[in-house]
Amino acid sequence: MRKVGITLGIGIDIINSLRFSKLLTTKSSTFTSRLCDRILNPIHEIPKFKTLTSERQVQYITGSWAAKEALFKTLGPEDQKQFNFNQWYRYHDSYGKPFIWSDSYDGKDEEFHLSISHDESLIVATVLRQKTYKI
């Protein structure tokens, strides 16, 4: 048995990490905490974020933002109305392939493939949303 997919949407986002660097270094720790609570998943991403150096924190939160913006663009209007950044999280399967998912999303048999790249201060994320079938 193998799995095949039908593309439901594709999204892309590019962001300059200097925007988040300024926010994380010039604002109070309360602001940083609120920003993280808004963007990062409390179970899967915030614990990891707290273990990173400040430079890696900037890259991590910027990557999460770009991935979730790209994912948002793959969704239909009804799902976009209910979209909440911190309900989604990035993960890697057992082969190291990146995905993005929400435990509260009800899209049965769907996958959100993630590709994310960093080049100096630029971060680009692409998400492919597909419905999967086993044949």
Could you give the number of structural domains in the chain? 1
Domain of residue 49, CATH code: 3.90.470.20
**CA distance from start to end of the chain:** 6
Q: How confident is the model over 5-16, as a mean pLDDT?
A: 96
pLDDT at residue 29, as a whole number: 83
CA-to-CA distance for 35 and 47, rounded, in angstroms? 14
Q: Which two tokens stand for residue 18?
A: 């200097």
Interval 110-123: pLDDT, tens: 999 999 999 999 99
pLDDT of 71 strictly over 80:
yes
Confidence of residue 32 (pLDDT cuts 50, 70, 90): confident
pLDDT at residue 30, as a whole number: 86
Helix (H) or strand (E) segment spanning residue 20:
helix 18-26
CA-to-CA distance for 74 and 77, rounded, in angstroms? 10
Q: What is the pTM of this model?
A: 0.91
Which residues, in sequence order, are CB contacts of 39 under 8 Å at separation 6+? 61, 64, 65, 68, 85, 86
Domain that holds residue 97: 3-134
pLDDT at residue 93, as a whole number: 87
